[in-house]
Amino acid sequence: MDSVRTPDSGTAEPSGDPAPPAAPSLGGKVRSAARWSLINTVVMRLGNFATGIVLARFALGPAEWGVYGIAQTVLLVLLSANELGVGLAIVRWEGDARRFAPTVLTLSVISSGLLYVALFAAAPTVAGLLGSPDAAGVLRVMCLCVVIDGIAQVPANFLTREFAQGKRMIIDALNFVVSTSVTLLLAFAGWGAMSFAVGAVAGNVVTLIGCWLAAPGTLKFGWNPEQARALLRFGLPLAGASMLALAVVNVDTMVVGATLGNVALGFYVLAFNISGWPVRIISEAARRVSFAGFSRLAETPQALAQGFSRALGVVITGTVPACVLLAGLAGPAVQLIYGSEWAPAAAALPWLMALGLIRIGSELAYDCLVAIGQRRSLFLVQGLWLVALVPVLLVGARTNGIVGASQAHVLVAGGLVVPVFLVALSRGGIGVGRIARACAWPFLGGAVMAVVVLGLRQLFGDGTLALLAISTIALACYALCVLPSRGFLRGDPPKRDADRDLDRPAVSAGTPQEDTR
């Protein structure tokens, strides 16, 4: 029998033992945190959207955006493993997290500091290999965020553990104000891509101070060898899987930059950022509470399956209309928002919107698999994704430019990764039937929307008023299509007992066990 070891006790606790029932207030905490998180994410993303328009129209060109894309990609990959995955123990493990938090902080700061030193030394080489030699200085400045984030991990994860998304919203708002102000001032002063780097560092310093004030007493260093060993056993597989996940999302930037150059990369980065709007707004809001929520349900397979299917239904229902509109109206939308200079970015956007929809589901599945201990399966899924993606991206980029790279992403994600994720979830007790039910109505609504958008565009044209009318009619049609799923999304009990057996897990009854094969 598998066991879970925590630093609180130093003894193994059988994971197969019946878990105590979830606290009655858990649902309320999750709903409240989800509301605050959604508000937070929407407000921040709208602000970032407006800032991006100003920078693209008046301050920075495609080449500068390409340099920024390279630096941002390297930063995200480093952030995925800067604290070796041990920070999530504060969210996941039971007991008093303050007992092992000092060891978490020490491990996090040491690992993030070593990562930054290595990056500082390797920055010119990394920038050259990625086809952007000018990005070395930007890399060195922007990746200071790795060290700052390593320090902030402990207080930030305490806020996540307690579902304190209201406090997190205030912190993120201050981060946005400071980072955006600095970025805009430096961009208009002629600092180019370096303005992004300095702004990011300033914003992360604000986040660190805010998390420290919101979770007082959590920034204390300490060291316990037994705790450190348990934390590393827990965290290293997660850090590896997280690094692979971010490599999957960002390897395209490296391939496009090295293959097509900075200008083409700038167009691609803009299109990818647009495709990320629904992902960031919906998925980020959900993920700030999903891991903590799934962790509370991990020992109750039926409740976990219901919770995951409902969460998937909510995020897919909220994401599909934005994806369809941005894909169907890509050309006129890009020119209207960013100007004709950025028109080449529109060609890649429809494919990247399809990828964005897949990312929504895969990120939620990622959190669920982590929560139920399927870390080995998750690592294998992400590794398979990356290994398959790189050669297909290279062929696609060389064959059809940024459009080919986008098509390669969708081909691998939809044709290979989605089926593998379905198998992994099924082994964890969440079968295909529940997932199909969660996605059926929004996918039907999306298909109807696509037909309406394409048909009305032929009639109305691409004027501003025409785009507004098309969007309004298409959204109304979508709303009618998803109305039958409102009870499911609200969490109403099923009308038929058979609804509880929509799927049969591909494992024997009992608590899902960690994959140890």
Contact status, residue 348 vs residue 477, Cβ threshold 8 Å = no
Given pLDDT bands bounded at 50, 70 and 90, which one contains residue 38? low
Contact status, residue 313 vs residue 439, Cβ threshold 8 Å = yes
* The token pair that represents 305 in the structure block: 């399956």
* The token pair that represents 471 in the structure block: 């969007």
Summarize pLDDT for 399-420 with one digit per residue, the tens: 999 999 999 999 999 999 999 9
Contact status, residue 320 vs residue 369, Cβ threshold 8 Å = no
Q: What are phi and psi of 3, to 5 degrees?
A: -140, 160
- CA distance readout (Å), 36 to 40, 170, 294, 328, 348: 6, 10, 18, 31, 33
DSSP 8-state assignment for residue 99: G
Given pLDDT bands bounded at 50, 70 and 90, which one contains residue 283? low
429 — alpha (psi -120 to 50), left (phi > 0) or beta? left
Sequential DSSP letters for 347-388: GTHHHHHHHHHHHHHHHHHHHHHHHTT-HHHHHHHHHHHHHH
CB neighbours (10 Å) of residue 359? 23
What pTM was computed for the model? 0.67
Given pLDDT bands bounded at 50, 70 and 90, which one contains residue 495? low
The structural domains of the chain, with segments of one domain joined by +, span: 25-260, 261-517
Report whether pLDDT(504) > 70. Answer: no
Would you state the pLDDT for residue 476?
96
d(Cα 365, Cα 357) in Å, to the nearest integer?
A: 13
Better-scored residue on pLDDT, 497 or 454: 454
Summarize pLDDT for 49-104 with one digit per residue, the tens: 788 888 887 777 788 887 887 888 788 777 777 777 787 788 777 778 888 999 99
